[in-house]
Chains A and B, each alone.
Chain A
Amino acid sequence: MSTRAVESWTLAPLKQFVAEAGARLVLLMTPAGQVMAQHGFSRAVDVMSAAALGAAIMASTAEIAKQLEQPPFAGLTHQGQAHGIFLGAVATGRGKIIVLVVYELEHSSVGLVQLFFEQLATELAAASPKEGVPKQVLAADFERELSDSLNTLFGR
């Protein structure tokens, strides 16, 4: 399984998380859905879909929390028959990062993912450059930025 990163400082914490939590697929992205790193995906189209859906789910749950006058939810878990999905947010020196994790129930569990997610959050916060948040991608640059990211993630 390949692990690749657009932002190199995310790579070591991500690799460790995958090994310890037994995750099948992992995606690190900005709240806007820009992919920063991935593990386990073999097709660019899957990464794009997962990033868009993950960012949308986080935005929806953040809005629900706002309606309830609560701080944003720390994590979101959805368990199926054979797989589970975990979504959480991490605060880093480069802004908030959303982490999407897919795990197989036969090899991992929500408890293991939550446990090592805390460690991932700490390590990403420590490893992140402190020089400020990355520039926002403008609509005009979006396609090129997306294409560059996918090229990096899939080694093209």
Chain B
Amino acid sequence: MTAAAFERALDMVTRVRGVRGAMLVSAADGLVVAEHLMEGIKGPAVAALAGSLSNRLGRAMEAAGVGASVFWHLQGTQGALLVVPAASGILVVAVTEAEVNIGLVRLELLRAAGAVG
């Protein structure tokens, strides 16, 4: 997949109103693959912590016998972190404002994950 294709995948997510940024993160390494973030969002920090969380969450879900994770929604007081793991081990991450259409962002994250592979 090319850098332009990654950009297109992120573009689908960031077009939704209330999304402050989107990233593709290598889940195993916690490194940024591609990002489209507003100023003030610490991309490498979000990527590292999302990668770590993905690892732990995966193990928790395996232990609980509920299968692989499909979508996470972490709601904070000033925004939310939404993540969809793609099949290739890439996490599609969206950082949003508190008031955002979660369903629409989820849909775009799933589409982006499909495009990333």
Contacts and interface: CB of A to CB of B under 8 A. Distances in A.
Partners in one complex: yes
Interface of A: 22, 79, 105-106, 108-112, 114-115
- Residues of B in contact with A, size category: 10 to 19
A16 to B, nearest CB: 16
A109 B44 contact: no
Contacts of B31: 109-111, 114
Contacts, number: 39
A111 B48 CA distance: 5
Contacts of A111: 25-26, 29-31, 44, 47-48, 51-52
Contacts of B28: 105, 109
Nearest to A111: B30
Contacts of B26: 111
Which among B28, B30, B47 has the greatest number of chain A C-beta atoms within 10 A? B30
B15 to A, nearest CB: 27
A79 B31 CA distance: 13
B101 interface: no
B44 A112 contact: no
B49 interface: yes
B55 interface: yes
Please list the 9 inter-chain residue pairs (A to B) with the smallest Cβ-Cβ separation, ordered nearest first: A111-B30, A111-B48, A109-B30, A115-B48, A112-B48, A111-B31, A110-B29, A109-B51, A111-B51
